[in-house]
Amino acid sequence: MSQQPFPEIIDVRKFFSQGVLLKASLPLQSCKRLEPYLSNAEGFIKSKIDVNLAFNKDDEGRYILDGEIESTLFLPCQRCMLGIEHALSSEFSVQVLDELKVSGDRELAADELEVVLSFEGKLDLLALVEDELILSLPLVIYHDKLDCNPKLVSIQQSARQALDSKPFADLEVLKQQLLSAKGETE
């Protein structure tokens, strides 16, 4: 199947009734939820997220979305903050339930599946995939020591040491400057 454009908001009934199979790349410029997790400009330009999504109805007419995510993300190294290329795959299955039906019809929900709500027949598909991806992200990620940017690391270390040894040094200088300035105006 060739790549299709990613539909950010979908008509739920249409997609599940037709049993749509979707193979697409996420439009990164629209991924506002994911953006803060990526390493700056580089991460935003070079990351790539492909999805395979299958929209099906089960025997009881429930809307079940099965998804596979294949991504290459550039995440910030927690030591030097530069990007690390990180391959991340994830699979998920969710039941899509209309918000209006939730309170009245509890038995509609399949127990074992995570439920995602649609609203007035529309589902924010982009947000759903982004959320699934964010849940799969590693908590922290580092370069191997050799790949870490040594300059940045040493600047950070000396800044930290300076702060540890004399946290109020700058304040003291500032105070002296203020005092002498005051003396000049009096």
**Of 135 and 139, CB closest to Zn ion:** 139
10 with 125: CB under 8 angstroms? yes
Q: By CB under 5 A, name the binding residues for Zn ion.
A: 77, 79-80, 143, 148
**Of 77 and 97, CB closest to Zn ion:** 77
Q: What is the DSSP letter of 138?
A: -
Distance CA 154, CA 28 (A): 33
Q: Which amino acid is at 113?
A: L
Q: Which residues contact 122 (CB under 8 A, 6 or more apart)?
A: 9, 10, 11, 12
Kindly state the smallest distance separating residue 70's Cβ from Zn ion, in Å: 25
**Of 28 and 153, CB closest to Zn ion:** 153
**Residue whose C-beta lies closest to Zn ion:** 77
Query: What residues form DSSP beta bridges with 90?
Result: 69
Kindly state the smallest distance separating residue 75's Cβ from Zn ion, in Å: 11
Kindly state the smallest distance separating residue 36's Cβ from Zn ion, in Å: 19
**Of 45 and 140, CB closest to Zn ion:** 140
In this structure, what token pair is assigned to residue 122? 């529309």
Kindly state the smallest distance separating residue 39's Cβ from Zn ion, in Å: 10
